[in-house]
Amino acid sequence: MIDLYTDATPNGWKVSIVLEEIGMDYTTHHVDLMKGEQKQDWFLKLCPNGRIPAIVDRGNGDLTIFESGAIMLYLAKKSGQLLPRDSHGEWHVTQWLMFQMAGIGPMMGQSNVFFRYFPEKLPAAIERYHNECRRLYEVLDRQLEGRDYLCDEYSIADIANWSWVRIYFWGGTNIDGLDNLQAWLERLEARPACQRGTAVPHAMNFTELEADLAKQDSTIRTLVTQ
């Protein structure tokens, strides 16, 4: 049994989708970012970095793992799913997982902050992150030319990147003309496990979120990006 500590964010979705895809039993514990629960002592014992998600594997000596990419690799290896068994295939998937961890996630995160949350609009910062997000989307689009998935088969690399790119609109960068990327987004959106995973711990309504953010101060706005 896996205990999953999470909230409704792209990094949280990455892990809940994997758990849904592999069919592993798990219990969800909602870490409410809007209340700052990720910074409370009880959660910092699980994740010293104070960021969701984290898991505890009760069937493996209460092993605790934080950082979404590490959790995804652990669950894929534990289940024997969503990661090729041959060395070349595994590294191929791993590099695209790291592409999300080092590129897509941080750049989209910054774009979200400066475009959506930051109280003062800084055109130079917004343009910088819009341009970099667009560049990264184009990298994915080229990789998806003639492919259904980023690697030879559906994998944790797809889940990691899709969990972020599916909310490209929130940071204000468009994906116009990126037909391969758009088809891939729709392909994963149609997967039942992706639908279930993005509803953990609750479905996210971005229209309601935008309205709520308009009423909150900048400190609370920043918490939403964590």
pLDDT in tens, 90-114: 999 999 999 999 999 999 999 999 9
Domains in the chain (CATH in brackets) are 2-81+197-217 (3.40.30.10), 87-190 (1.20.1050.10)
pLDDT value at residue 99: 98
pLDDT digits (tens, 9 = 90+) for 192-202: 999 999 999 99
Q: How far apart are CA 64 and CA 66, in angstroms?
A: 7
End-to-end CA distance of the chain: 26
The model's pLDDT over 151-180, given as tens digits with 9 standing for 90+, comes to 989 999 999 999 999 999 999 999 999 999
H or E stretch covering 207: helix 206-214
